[in-house]
């Protein structure tokens, strides 16, 4: 699965960005898709995941209330709307898509499964200045 992220950039604290992840050929009934990020010198962190066929989303505590994940199945695209950005949101953001995980959303760690079993895009950089 080839994933292409876009939408990153440089923004001031309090600003907004919308990231896009195009996933051609994916059947959203089977796949769960997530956004993950890696800040300089740190490990990858979960940000948000979506199993659109189940209408289920996950958000990390650090972004809950500020970020919104959504899917446009007609466009095979998942979006991450990021509002009220903070300098600590600075990172390379990646999307990942995992086949079969959408049927496992009853597992509390299902978003981790997306990261662990899915295909990843090349990332898009987000820089938030104070």
* Mean pLDDT in residue range 90-111: 91
Q: Which residue shows structure tokens 């295909």?
A: 119
Helix (H, G, I), strand (E, B) or coil at 77: strand
Determine which helix (DSSP H) or strand (DSSP E) holds 93, and give its type and residue range. Answer: strand 91-99
Q: Per residue in 29-75, pLDDT tens?
A: 889 999 999 999 999 999 999 999 889 999 999 999 999 999 999 99
């Amino acid at each position: 699965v080839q994933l292409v992220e876009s939408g990153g950039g440089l923004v001031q604290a309090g600003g907004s960005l919308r990231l896009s992840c195009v996933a051609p050929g994916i059947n959203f009934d089977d796949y769960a898709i997530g956004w993950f990020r890696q800040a300089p010198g740190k490990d990858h962190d979960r940000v948000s995941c979506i199993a659109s066929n189940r209408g289920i989303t996950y958000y990390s505590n650090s972004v809950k209330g500020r970020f919104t994940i959504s899917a446009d199945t007609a466009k095979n695209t998942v979006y991450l709307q990021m509002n009220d950005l903070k300098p600590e949101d600075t990172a390379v953001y990646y999307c990942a898509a995992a086949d079969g995980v959408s049927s496992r959303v009853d597992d509390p760690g299902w978003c981790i499964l997306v990261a662990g079993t899915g295909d990843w895009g090349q990332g898009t950089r987000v820089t938030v200045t104070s």
